[in-house]
Chain A
Amino acid sequence: MPERSAFPTPPAGLEGAHLVRSGCPAHNCGGRCLLHVWVRDGKILRIDADDRPGDEPSDPQLRACIRGRAYRYRQNHKDRLRYPMKRIGKRGEAKFTRISWEEAFGTMAERIVSVRDAYGPTSIFVPYGTGSYNLTNGRWTAERLLNLVGGSLGYYNSYSWACISAATPTVFGTNITGNQRQDWLNAKLILMWSWNPAEMRDGTNSEYFIRKARERGARVVCLDPRMTMSAVALADEWIPVRPGTDAALMSAMAYVMITEGLVDRAFIRSHCLGFDASQMPAGAESEESYEDYILGRRDGIPKTPGWAEPISAMPRATIARLAREYATIKPAVLYQGYGMQRRAYGEQAVRAGCVLAAITGNVGIPGGWAGGIALQAPDGGPRWEILPLGENPVTAKIPSFLWSEAVLRGRDMGPADGVVGADRLGTDIKLIWSVASNILINQHGNVNRSARILADESRVEFLAVQDNFMTPTARFADLLLPACTQFETWGVQDGWKYGEEVILAPKIVEPAFESKSDYAICAGIAAKLGVEPAYTEGRDERGWVEWAMDHYRKTRFPDMPTLDELEASNSGMYVRPVTEPAVAFADFRRDPQAHPLPTPSGKIEIFSKRLFDLKRPDEIPAVPKYIREWESPFGPEAAAFPLQVIGHHALSRVHSIHDNVPELLEAFPQRIFMNPLDADPRGITDGDPVRVWNDRGALILPVRLTSRVMPGVLAIPQGAWWTPDRAGTDRRGNVNVLTSERWTPYAFGNAQHTIMAQAAKAGKPGRRR
């Protein structure tokens, strides 16, 4: 290896270029990687990899995936939005005309004031969206501005992990339930349950840590309806599970453990609540315990492997073997991914997984894993918001997924619809300002419905969209504000779910055309609203990065250099190596009396009195249960729509970002993935155009026949840009034409993977390749 230089000599072909080390313009993949960006004459020419010496598990290189490696194609894309524009056709027709920034700022300020004055600030909404994880840009900039002029309707939770973030605390009282990843090297068994770090990147290097654990002797088993890239490269065994049945499988595993005496009775006695009749909480002494449910004492249905086999499509012998392995090979990690909780009763699989970790005694020990969302011990890990937002005068918040409800019937929405901070919203949403977000059209459940709602100009009276490209959401804008990319402004990034680093995203090139940073756009609007000094506090983008670095130094990283020092070193990042990985709940494990959990009982709540008191046992039981989904292969809907559809994450995109980058689509073309056993009876051959439809919509896309997806399941990678033809059939493969706007009962989360559909060959057969 050559000496690592702060400012290396450019290689042949890049004469005159200089190198800037920078964070990958993180959107909402799970990674935060380091890129080496070669720049000449204001243009990005090449991107190299992290070259820090060592590459040890305590401080591994942050190597970018294909998306980061392809970033210059997005940066130098011909379709970048160039100028502010206003709508001239009907909403959604995508007919615009160029205007000046002066007019754009003025329009934006005027509409914020007029809507606020007519309907109140609760009618103004900046939707969920993760297009920018540059922490001093993105949607936070708009929120900060609105808070200075009356506020806006807030939201809570996310489209990623609403159920897991809501259900984990019902068991543990907190979402900080994970060990630092270096601790995976201490595990003897790792169950990757619905978890696919190789494709969705659940933290840069998560796949590398699993590899390292395996090298140290851990057995790795992957449970997923797809044989994912993770299943191929990381696991010793892949076991398919029918989508939406994880809680049934977990219950049957518990049955085997209980009836074969494999549960950790001592740990259950000392650390858990509600496992059996002997430890029920006050006020629920005679209610159904977890053991009662598993053994079928009340409902007459023992949750045996034989019971779970027809539900999960997993052989009963395999279920029993898996249960014995997890209960006896210790310490063990049962890592819960997020796909299985973006489902009808996603809360149940989350709670059931946490309970399995508890009854096997895998909580609070090195090499173990408590389950749940598993934010990183000891401090919860990275921060995803750093720009100070100020105080929002509007206290009401809605679940992020229920924005379309708040457009249609916000005035009547209250706690029954998940509203917090107010008894009633009292108004519908009338102004939407979508910043770095493609949620409104592309990523929400049931695209066709979303498009109908937003096309009605009497509902949302003003819709501003701020983005880099003409996304499907941008096509519905009244006012289009061209944001620059993250290579064109200053920013800072923190590791995503895991990470002991702060990564700098310096301004590398000038904003393209007339585009501006999210921050500069908001500052321009702030000037029109007369609040610019309060908004900027005299700082530019770099000034806020400096502020953020100071903040990190005061909170997580006292030894971090200053921004000036980091910039001078051109290192791009500060990292704190992890040599002694933290273990969640270690104190509680050692002494549960002295270190109780933040649950009502201070213990691991296998039975949740709080959930019991909601008195909705059919949908929100007090102990985790398998509940048949509202669209399922076992319901009457399966007659017309017999196939389950999952919209998995693919490496060609981060959600909907990069869908317009041909180089990525060449690597991973958008396809329907279908098992030959489902294709044969339909006369479908590999490469055919296939129509997939249900009551909500239809798409046509070439099919890839593969045995890597289980029979009865179609996989359509989520995030493709909605492209309807004249008949309304999507031609690009946006799975959300099939998904539903229905939310989960407890978390008010999206259940977009719970859908059924039918498939048939479309038109003329495609060319076989």
Chain B
Amino acid sequence: MRQLGFFVDSAACSGCKACAMACRDRNNLPPGVRWRRVYEVGGGGWRREGEAWVPEIAVYNLSIACNHCEKPLCLDGCPARAIAKREDGIVVIDPAKCLGCRYCEWACPYGAPQFDEAAGVMTKCDLCAGLIERGGRPACVAACPMRALDFGEIEELRAKYGTTAEAHPLPKAEITEPALVIRPHRDAAKAKTAAALIKNREEV
């Protein structure tokens, strides 16, 4: 079976959110519905050295959409069987079947399923399936001014960018086996000791 997925170069991500806005524009997402979310992760503090200030902080960004997991907990948790995994690995929600119970939202450790209040159904990233079937790229990938996003067959992405699929504070990859490759930022290594948290909660 094929499995499409995303690559995010967290080392190069500035947190500019061009990806998130491109996603919103392409998919006509209403306010608050965020198929792609850019998490600002930050922690640490400052040290006085003589009369100087020295930062001992860790900051980086993680642009995360749906990871089209190989073990999608959203699918498992859907009582209406509205969620399916396509042959190409893309996880999709059928709005006609969705009851709006939001179980998938609770099940997904990445916050990918997003509730559309007006429509009363769950929605989420479909990897711009309609675009890539025509040979195009997902809107977020095409938008990135830093060229920090990519997509494709997950095995090809892993061959190109490595196999890392975790970065603090994302969940352990073994939970859902996300079709995701991350190039960690240099600060990711010290994120735990710096007690780094998601700093832009109100934006994601």
Q: In the bound complex, do residue B143 and residue A708 qualify as a contact, i.e. CB atoms below 8 Å apart? A: no
**Contacts A2-B134, A46-B25, A663-B31; A238 near B142 (Cβ below 8 A):** no
Residues of B within 8 A of A229 (CB): 14-16
Bound Cα distance A122, B25 (Å): 47
Bound Cα distance A667, B199 (Å): 13
Q: In the bound complex, do residue A315 and residue B50 qualify as a contact, i.e. CB atoms below 8 Å apart? A: yes
Residues of B within 8 A of A316 (CB): 50, 52
Bound Cα distance A211, B50 (Å): 34
Q: In the bound complex, do residue B53 and residue A710 qualify as a contact, i.e. CB atoms below 8 Å apart? A: yes
**Contacts A205-B145, A240-B55; A668 near B14 (Cβ below 8 A):** no
Cβ-based interface call for B174 (8 A): no
CB closest residue in chain B, given A36: B142
Cβ-based interface call for B192 (8 A): no
| Residues in B lying within 8 Å of A, measured CB to CB | 11-18, 20-22, 24-26, 31-32, 42-46, 49-55, 57, 59-61, 130-131, 134-137, 139, 142-148, 185-186, 199, 201-203
Per-residue interface assignment for chain A, residues 489 to 519, with 1 indicating a CB less than 8 Å from any chain B CB and 0 otherwise: 0000000000000000000000000000000
Return the contact of A63 from the options B18, B52, B186 (Cβ within 8 A): B18
Cβ-based interface call for A198 (8 A): yes
**Contacts A315-B50, A710-B46; A48 near B16 (Cβ below 8 A):** no
CB closest residue in chain A, given B143: A49
- In the complex, besides A208-B146, A667-B17, 20 extra interface pairs with C-beta distance below 8 angstroms are A1-B137, A11-B134, A49-B143, A66-B17, A70-B21, A72-B25, A204-B145, A207-B145, A232-B185, A233-B61, A233-B148, A309-B52, A315-B52, A316-B50, A316-B52, A663-B24, A663-B31, A668-B203, A677-B46, A707-B44
Cβ-based interface call for A280 (8 A): no
Bound Cα distance A706, B40 (Å): 11
What size tier do the contact residues of chain A reach?
A: 35 or more
Bound Cα distance A47, B21 (Å): 10
Bound Cα distance A740, B22 (Å): 38
- Pairs A–B under 8 Å by Cβ, sample size 25: A46-B25, A46-B26, A49-B142, A51-B142, A63-B142, A65-B18, A66-B16, A66-B18, A66-B21, A198-B146, A207-B145, A208-B146, A229-B14, A309-B51, A315-B52, A315-B54, A316-B52, A662-B31, A664-B21, A666-B31, A667-B17, A707-B46, A708-B59, A710-B46, A710-B55
Q: In the bound complex, do residue A706 and residue B21 qualify as a contact, i.e. CB atoms below 8 Å apart? A: no
**Contacts A205-B145, A707-B44; A651 near B16 (Cβ below 8 A):** yes
Residues of A within 8 A of B135 (CB): 1-2
**Contacts A205-B145, A211-B146, A310-B51; A667 near B21 (Cβ below 8 A):** yes
Residues of B within 8 A of A309 (CB): 50-52
| Min CB–CB distance A30 → chain B (angstroms) | 12
| Min CB–CB distance B154 → chain A (angstroms) | 20
CB closest residue in chain A, given B53: A313
Residues of A within 8 A of B12 (CB): 211, 233
CB closest residue in chain A, given B130: A12
Return the contact of B145 from the options A2, A51, A63, A677 (Cβ within 8 A): A63
Q: In the bound complex, do residue B25 and residue A47 qualify as a contact, i.e. CB atoms below 8 Å apart? A: yes
CB closest residue in chain B, given A64: B18
Per CB-CB distance, the 8 closest pairs between chain A and chain B, nearest first, are A233-B14, A2-B135, A310-B51, A229-B14, A198-B14, A69-B21, A315-B52, A49-B142
Q: In the bound complex, do residue A63 and residue B15 qualify as a contact, i.e. CB atoms below 8 Å apart? A: no
Q: In the bound complex, do residue B21 and residue A707 qualify as a contact, i.e. CB atoms below 8 Å apart? A: no
| Min CB–CB distance A39 → chain B (angstroms) | 14
| Min CB–CB distance A601 → chain B (angstroms) | 38
Per-residue interface assignment for chain A, residues 647 to 682, with 1 indicating a CB less than 8 Å from any chain B CB and 0 otherwise: 000010000000000111011110000011100000
Cβ-based interface call for A130 (8 A): no
Cβ-based interface call for A234 (8 A): yes
Residues of A within 8 A of B185 (CB): 232
Q: In the bound complex, do residue B53 and residue A711 qualify as a contact, i.e. CB atoms below 8 Å apart? A: yes
Cβ-based interface call for A230 (8 A): yes
Residues of A within 8 A of B15 (CB): 229, 232-233
Residues of A within 8 A of B59 (CB): 227, 232, 707-708
Bound Cα distance A70, B11 (Å): 25
| Min CB–CB distance B187 → chain A (angstroms) | 8
Residues of A within 8 A of B199 (CB): 704, 706
CB closest residue in chain B, given A713: B53
Bound Cα distance A55, B145 (Å): 11
**Contacts A48-B142, A211-B146, A667-B20; A238 near B202 (Cβ below 8 A):** no
CB closest residue in chain A, given B204: A667
Chain B residues touching A, majority SS: mixed
Residues of A within 8 A of B142 (CB): 48-49, 51, 63
Cβ-based interface call for A769 (8 A): yes
Bound Cα distance A280, B147 (Å): 50
Q: In the bound complex, do residue A769 and residue B25 qualify as a contact, i.e. CB atoms below 8 Å apart? A: no
Bound Cα distance A240, B45 (Å): 13
Bound Cα distance A55, B203 (Å): 31
Residues of A within 8 A of B26 (CB): 46, 48
| Min CB–CB distance B31 → chain A (angstroms) | 6
Bound Cα distance A66, B16 (Å): 7
| Min CB–CB distance A53 → chain B (angstroms) | 12
Q: In the bound complex, do residue B45 and residue A230 qualify as a contact, i.e. CB atoms below 8 Å apart? A: no
Q: Which of A31-74 contact B (CB under 8 A)?
A: 46-49, 51, 55, 63-66, 69-70, 72
Bound Cα distance A208, B201 (Å): 28
Residues of A within 8 A of B202 (CB): 669, 687, 769
Bound Cα distance A64, B21 (Å): 11
Bound Cα distance A65, B15 (Å): 11
Residues of B within 8 A of A677 (CB): 45-46
**Contacts A2-B134, A232-B61, A313-B53; A707 near B16 (Cβ below 8 A):** no
Cβ-based interface call for A760 (8 A): no
Cβ-based interface call for A322 (8 A): no
Return the contact of B60 from the options A207, A232, A234, A310 (Cβ within 8 A): A232
Cβ-based interface call for A387 (8 A): no
Residues of A within 8 A of B46 (CB): 675, 677, 707, 710-711
| Min CB–CB distance A24 → chain B (angstroms) | 12
CB closest residue in chain A, given B134: A2
Residues of A within 8 A of B131 (CB): 11
Bound Cα distance A11, B32 (Å): 25
- Which residue of B17, B32, B134, B186 has the most chain A CB atoms within 10 A of its CB atom? B17
| Min CB–CB distance B34 → chain A (angstroms) | 9
Per-residue interface assignment for chain A, residues 205 to 237, with 1 indicating a CB less than 8 Å from any chain B CB and 0 otherwise: 101100100000000000000010110111010
**Contacts A233-B12, A313-B53, A708-B57; A63 near B42 (Cβ below 8 A):** no
Q: In the bound complex, do residue B143 and residue A63 qualify as a contact, i.e. CB atoms below 8 Å apart? A: yes
- Which residue of A49, A238, A668 has the most chain B CB atoms within 10 A of its CB atom? A49
Bound Cα distance A478, B201 (Å): 43
Cβ-based interface call for A109 (8 A): no
Q: In the bound complex, do residue A207 and residue B53 qualify as a contact, i.e. CB atoms below 8 Å apart? A: no
Bound Cα distance A72, B45 (Å): 40
Bound Cα distance A51, B43 (Å): 38
Bound Cα distance A47, B27 (Å): 11
| Min CB–CB distance B32 → chain A (angstroms) | 8
| Min CB–CB distance B24 → chain A (angstroms) | 7
Bound Cα distance A198, B54 (Å): 23
Bound Cα distance A316, B54 (Å): 11
Cβ-based interface call for A314 (8 A): yes
| Min CB–CB distance A425 → chain B (angstroms) | 44
Residues of B within 8 A of A198 (CB): 14, 16, 146
Residues of B within 8 A of A312 (CB): 52
Q: In the bound complex, do residue B45 and residue A676 qualify as a contact, i.e. CB atoms below 8 Å apart? A: yes
| Min CB–CB distance B126 → chain A (angstroms) | 12
Per-residue interface assignment for chain A, residues 692 to 725, with 1 indicating a CB less than 8 Å from any chain B CB and 0 otherwise: 0000000000001011101100000000000000
Q: In the bound complex, do residue A48 and residue B139 qualify as a contact, i.e. CB atoms below 8 Å apart? A: yes
Bound Cα distance A72, B19 (Å): 16
- Which residue of A51, A65, A198, A707 has the most chain B CB atoms within 10 A of its CB atom? A707
